[in-house]
Amino acid sequence: MAKHSIMVIDDEKIVGDMAKLSFEQDGYEVETFLNGESALERLKEKRFDVVVTDLKMKGVDGLEVLRSIKKLYPGVKVIMITAFANLDVAIEALRDDVHDFFPKPVKIKELKASVKRALGEE
């Protein structure tokens, strides 16, 4: 069976790096992006099984990424992470479209469990 693929988008390198390292250990294929623009470019070429994205980024932010993905690949699950924990309104609005939502710092173990659920592995 082919490896599941995960796209990670965050404007801070450390987040993508650590996520890549952690997911690769579990046998996933991971690509990381530092902004929404480059991620959307890549999405035109490749469908990922799960997308993990930061919410607040300069330029194309997490919400825009989410909308584009839902248009391109309605079945792809999106997990949102953000440093701003009290965005209740945003969470509410996103509830239907987002598979999961985590405030940063997010426990890698929980993120992994969420990815598994998104892939129907659990």
- In 10 A of CB 42, how many CB atoms? 14
Residue 53's φ and ψ, nearest 5 degrees, are -135, 145
Please state, in angstroms and rounded to a whole number, the distance separating the CA atoms of residues 105 and 49: 23
Q: Which residues from 92-121 bind other proteins, rule CB under 8 A?
A: 104-109, 111
Q: By three-state DSSP, how is residue 17 classified? A: helix
Measured from the CB of residue 35, what is the shortest distance to other proteins in angstroms? 14
- 3-class state of residue 91 by DSSP: helix
For residues 13 and 67, which CB has a smaller minimum distance to other proteins in the complex?
Answer: 13
Pick 25 or 47: Cβ nearer other proteins: 25
Compute φ and ψ for 105, nearest 5 degrees. Answer: -70, 140
Q: Does 41 bind other proteins (CB under 8 A)?
A: no
For residues 8-27, which are near other proteins according to CB under 8 A? 10, 12-15, 17-19, 21, 25
Least distance (Å) between residue 71 CB and other proteins: 27
| Spatial CA neighbour of 21 closest among 82, 103, 87, 108 | 108
Minimum CB–partner distance for residue 20 and other proteins (Å) = 9
Which spans of this chain sit near other proteins (rule: CB under 8 A)? 10, 12-15, 17-19, 21, 25, 81, 83, 104-109, 111
